[in-house]
Structures are given as C-alpha cells and as structure tokens.
Amino acid sequence: MPTQIVVAGAVIRRATVLVAQRVRPPELAGRWELPGGKVAPGETERDALARELGEELGLALGDVAVGDRLGEDIALDGITLRAYRVQLVSGEPHARDHRAVRWVTADELPDVDWVPADRGWVADLARTLAASAS
C-alpha cells in the first residue's frame, strides 16, 4: 500500500527559516514545525507545498518559489514526510492554521521545541541557513 506524502517547506528569508507553532493534535500543540501538508491525488509535491503554504500562511502562489529537496525523507506510520527549500519572494506569512509563526536563525534551531519528526531536518536546516548567510 503506498504511503501518503506530506510535504514541508523550509521557507527561507535571508539567513532565517520560518517555523510554525501547532495548535493540534493535543500531543503536538505548542510545538514547532515546518509548515506544509498532504499531497492530493494528481498534484505534484511542489504544487501541493505552494498550495499548503497559501492555505496555512496566506501566501499567494507567486510569493514563494519551491526549490530543491532538504534532507532525507522521514517515515512515520503510513506517511512519508518530505521537505523542500522554499524562497520567500514577496508577501509576509501569517499564522492561519497555527498558533504563531516566527523566523529563527541557525543558532536558534537546536533550542526550538520541534515536533519530533521535524527534528530530523535540523542539521540540514543549519547548513542551508549558513549557506544563505554567506
């Protein structure tokens, strides 16, 4: 049985990445994640991520440019999490489906209270942000 693909966006602005604070489910509420969501049947992963960022952050399709993959896939019960680097071209993200959003630097990444699955991308995020700063 194929697994559900869930895409996450490492939205980069200068040398910071956007993180979003979960509202639900109760066991993850208050923890931070990369925003994103499920890929619908017939939808490409990049299109799904752009759509999800619009729904969750109020960004228009032209506000973001979905780039290369970030890190390795993370497997959960019947779900494959896949992250992409995303360049914020214009617009300002707002929490629509989350409690809050904030920009964090590479130095702040280890101290973020990540949802367990997204913690797997912290080292990749740190390298990406270091490259963005140079």
If one compares 134 and 98, the residue with the highest pLDDT of the two is: 98
Write 21-30 long-range contacts (CB < 8 A, 24+): 21/95, 21/98, 21/99, 21/100, 21/101, 21/102, 22/98, 22/99, 22/115, 23/97, 23/98, 23/99, 28/115, 29/99, 30/99, 30/113
**Which residues, at least 6 apart from 125, have a Cβ–Cβ distance to it below 8 Å?**
10, 17, 70, 106, 109
Q: Is the pLDDT score of 89 beyond 80?
A: yes
Q: Which of 1-15, 32-46, 103-117 has the lowest mean pLDDT?
A: 1-15
- Both tokens of 38, joined, read 């499920």
Separation of alpha carbons 27 and 47, rounded Å: 29
Coil, strand or helix: which one is 5?
Answer: strand
Which pLDDT score is estimated for 108? 97
- Write down the architecture of domain 4-132 according to CATH: Alpha-Beta Complex (3.90)
pTM: 0.95
